[in-house]
Amino acid sequence: MNPKLHRAVIHWLNSERRDREETAERALERVFRSLPLPAPSRALLDRTLLELGFSEGVTGAPVGAVAPHWALRAIATVALALSGLAVALFVPALLASFSLSRTLDWLVDVGAGFLTGLSQRLADGYLVWDVVARAGNTAAEAVATPQVFGLMLVILLLGSATFRFLASLVVVEGSSYHA
């Protein structure tokens, strides 16, 4: 036992013996603060990381991870630099070509067109949702009768029995094939 923990336990026990409740409570808190924090073993960490797909411990790279070739990184860097240069050169020239009134008219037209298109898509979506909801309601009403529900239950049981038979047949055939 480490000395700090030992002193805290002794102080706590002495306070308890003397019936000093508040002092004993504070001493018990010091005992718990003095306890070492539990840490997982290195073997557990390695097993967990291997299970998650890391090849070597904490510093290992994921299995199958491949760093991109330097040429690909260079191409991506040049492409990003050219894109930034094009934006820096052409956007100010494009904005300068529009007058303020034409720009505001254009923005209003684009905004109105966007809202009109969005509302039309929402209306189309509502029509599709209405058809799906009505079909589901009709199917629910049909299944609500005991005769249809019983028939569906029989079909489900027959299908699962057939699936189980076919699965066992595949397993038997597969094991005899490998024998």
Q: Where are the domains of the chain?
A: 3-51, 145-179
Burial of 8 (0-12, 13-18, 19+ CB in 10 A): buried
pLDDT score recorded for residue 164: 93
The CA angle 86-90-95, to the nearest 5 degrees, is 150
- What's the CA gap between 170 and 96, in Å, rounded? 72
Give the model's confidence band at 7: pLDDT under 50 very low, under 70 low, under 90 confident, else very high: confident
pLDDT score recorded for residue 67: 61
If one compares 10 and 61, the residue with the highest pLDDT of the two is 10
Highest averaged pLDDT of the listed ranges 9-13, 16-20, 54-58, 154-158? 154-158
pLDDT at 66 over 60: no
CA distances for 30 relative to 27, 33, 70, 125, angstroms:
5, 5, 56, 64
pLDDT at 32 over 80: yes
> Helices (DSSP H) in 36-69: which residue ranges?
42-51
Structure tokens at 57: 């411990």
Contacts of 57 by beta carbon, 8 Å cutoff, 6+ apart: 45, 46, 49
Report, as an integer, the average pLDDT of 70-96.
81
Burial of 161 (0-12, 13-18, 19+ CB in 10 A): exposed
- What's the CA gap between 144 and 152, in Å, rounded? 11
Report, as an integer, the average pLDDT of 81-100.
75
pLDDT in tens, 109-167: 888 888 898 888 888 888 888 888 888 888 787 777 888 888 888 999 999 999 999 98
Q: What is the pTM of this model?
A: 0.26
Q: Which residues make beta-bridge pairs with 62?
A: 54
Give the model's confidence band at 5: pLDDT under 50 very low, under 70 low, under 90 confident, else very high: confident
Amino acid letter for position 43: A
Give the model's confidence band at 61: pLDDT under 50 very low, under 70 low, under 90 confident, else very high: very low
Give the model's confidence band at 57: pLDDT under 50 very low, under 70 low, under 90 confident, else very high: low
141 close to 135: Cβ distance less than 8 angstroms: no
pLDDT score recorded for residue 63: 47
| Number of Cβ within a 10 Å radius of residue 40 | 9
Amino acid letter for position 38: P
pLDDT score recorded for residue 165: 92
